[in-house]
């Protein structure tokens, strides 16, 4: 359990519960060891009695929106969500239909195919909201994916754990000097720069974010790195290695097969594809309601089954590595950085107002709780064409 020392929600005055609705939700919360207006740090402090109706009507979407609107708080929101996920309270609440969720789900399915235009819009909505935010939140290399806290020597800081992750990827793909590497969804160029600096690789990184492209180009300087503003479906060329770190969650279920077909076209004989992504425990066609609406538009977590089916007949899986628990620690480190920067006034309060702060706080802490509860995994998969990879030994 992780209690955030900067959390102030529990210090605010609370309202008396709305008796009838509270009686409906209280027994469910008790299954997760959560009380309304209780003394434990993970207990939910209710500031507005409309909270109960909001949650009963819209479940996880309502819970997140009520937090954004200041209707509730917690001394440790990450642990609150962890307990909710472990107790599977979402399943308990699905018995009653929600018109707003049904409408949102139907609308999401109608627009579920991630076209090039929809992909650009979704990426811009999250990644082009200002590099100053990500510079304050992330490590010095601007890694926006799960760190690896299990390297040798054992990483102690976020930056060390992120470098351990980048080195792990390079070792898993057997990266050699001079090899051509494609980084699909290169972000701010963290892997591209590392692979060029430490392993002498020639890297082409592609992103749909203009902010990321500009930052990555400055960061990589005179290294043999090219950053392109390009959809992965429009990439041309041939590469010895392909790496995709934290991008597959944006592909969309209807395009999973397209992703692997494109990787097959681009990869040289004997090449290796490494896929690093968050993996959901269940196969889904649309993303989680609150996260899709407010954080990652068009984002959907693939399941192990969906990844296996999408790659079948094209690639054989040579290694599958799950270090999901490390994402809890990564997210908590990101939150501490973000929270500190916001409270110290290092972020523009006009651009990132109080509602943004609560939205971003809920995003980071709820995701930490999700991984702590085992509600999602972090998968690194090594793929190669059947029969082309001999004597491969994975790295840890």
Active site residue 367: yes
Cα 241 from Cα 202, distance rounded (Å): 10
Answer left, alpha or beta for residue 252, where phi above 0 means left and psi between -120 and 50 means alpha: left
Upstream peptide bond of 153 is cis (omega within 30 degrees of 0): yes
Of the candidates 82, 170, 186, 367, the residue annotated as catalytic is: 367
Which regions of 69-201 does DSSP assign to beta strands (E)? 72-73, 180-184
Cα 247 from Cα 22, distance rounded (Å): 40
Phi, psi for 93 (deg, rounded to 5):
-85, -10
Cα 393 from Cα 76, distance rounded (Å): 41
Beta bridge partners of 317: 383
With 0-12 / 13-18 / 19 or more C-beta atoms within 10 angstroms meaning exposed / middle / buried, residue 126 is middle
Cα 297 from Cα 50, distance rounded (Å): 27
- Please, are residues 190 and 166 in contact by the beta-carbon 8 Å criterion? yes
Cα 142 from Cα 145, distance rounded (Å): 9
CB-based contacts of 54, cutoff 8 Å, min separation 6: 62, 63, 65, 66, 71
Distances (CA, A) of 332 to 55, 88, 134: 25, 22, 15
Q: Which residues are catalytic?
A: 367
């Amino acid at each position: 359990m992780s209690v955030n020392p900067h959390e102030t929600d529990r210090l605010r005055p609370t309202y008396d519960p709305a008796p009838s609705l509270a009686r409906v939700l209280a027994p469910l919360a008790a299954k997760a060891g959560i009380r309304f207006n209780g003394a434990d740090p993970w207990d939910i402090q209710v500031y507005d009695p409309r909270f109960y109706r909001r949650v009963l009507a819209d479940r996880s979407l309502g819970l997140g929106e009520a937090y954004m609107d200041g209707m509730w708080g917690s001394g440790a929101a990450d642990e609150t969500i962890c307990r909710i996920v472990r107790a599977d309270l979402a399943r308990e609440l699905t018995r009653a239909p929600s018109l707003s969720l049904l409408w949102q789900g139907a609308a999401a399915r109608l627009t579920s195919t991630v076209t090039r235009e929809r992909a650009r819009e979704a990426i811009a909505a999250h990644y082009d909201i200002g590099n100053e935010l990500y510079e304050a939140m992330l490590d010095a290399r601007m890694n926006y994916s799960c760190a690896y806290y299990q390297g040798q020597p054992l990483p102690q800081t976020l930056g060390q754990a992120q470098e351990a992750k980048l080195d792990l990827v390079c070792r898993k793909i057997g990266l050699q000097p001079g090899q051509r590497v494609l980084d699909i969804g290169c972000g701010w160029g963290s892997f591209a720069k590392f692979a060029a600096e430490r392993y002498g690789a020639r890297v082409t990184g592609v992103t749909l974010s203009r902010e990321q492209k500009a930052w990555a180009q400055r960061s990589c300087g005179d290294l043999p790195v090219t950053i392109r503003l390009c959809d992965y479906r429009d990439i041309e060329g041939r590469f010895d290695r392909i790496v995709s770190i934290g991008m597959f969650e944006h592909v969309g279920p209807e395009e999973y097969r397209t992703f692997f077909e494109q990787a097959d076209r681009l990869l040289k004989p004997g090449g290796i594809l490494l896929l690093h992504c968050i993996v959901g425990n269940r196969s889904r066609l649309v993303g989680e309601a609150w996260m899709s609406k407010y954080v990652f538009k068009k984002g959907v977590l693939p399941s192990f089954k969906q990844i296996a089916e999408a790659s079948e007949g094209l690639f054989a899986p040579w290694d599958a590595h799950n270090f999901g628990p490390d994402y809890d620690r990564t997210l908590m480190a990101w939150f501490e950085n973000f929270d500190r920067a916001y409270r110290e006034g290092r972020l523009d309060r006009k651009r990132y107002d109080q509602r943004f702060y609560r939205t971003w706080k809920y995003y980071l802490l709820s995701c930490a709780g999700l991984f702590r509860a085992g509600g999602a995994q972090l998968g690194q998969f090594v793929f190669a064409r059947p029969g082309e990879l001999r004597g491969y030994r994975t790295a840890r």
